[in-house]
Structure 1
């Protein structure tokens, strides 16, 4: 079994009352580098552009499908 060792000022044997002072380290936006934020913003921008492109293609496909349905209905009416 692997022994794990913790080293925190408030993590002392027999001092349970100090445990409430131990907090998990949280990464905040302020600790992120400007470069990381720029990369994240670029990724979001690319993703939004891709979604817009897909939305335009979907609208085009919807229009083509509607036209095909109407053409098929007119052929069916003509054959009757």
Structure 2
């Protein structure tokens, strides 16, 4: 069962129904938080890629020295 509860939801008081409004979530705050998380993820990925490139270059140098 679904239960609806609101101070203006009163049996026989139809004129109060116009005062009931749907809650609106702040889309801008959600998007801003999402953008911040994505930027942090991209920054971490770029850092990880730089570290991996450095390790690859080091391995390449060691392999060339072994030849």
* TM-score, normalised via structure 1 length: 0.53
Aligned residues: 47
Residue aligning to 1:48: 35
Q: Note the C-alpha offset of 1:79.
A: 0.8
CA RMSD, Structure 1 to Structure 2 (Å): 1.8
Higher relative contact order (CA 8 A, sep 6+): 2
* Unmatched runs of 5 consecutive residues or more in structure 1: 1-31
| Higher-Rg member (1/2) | 1
The answer to whether structure 1 residue 73 and structure 2 residue 48 are counterparts is: no
Q: Could you tell me the TM-score, scaled by structure 2's length? A: 0.62
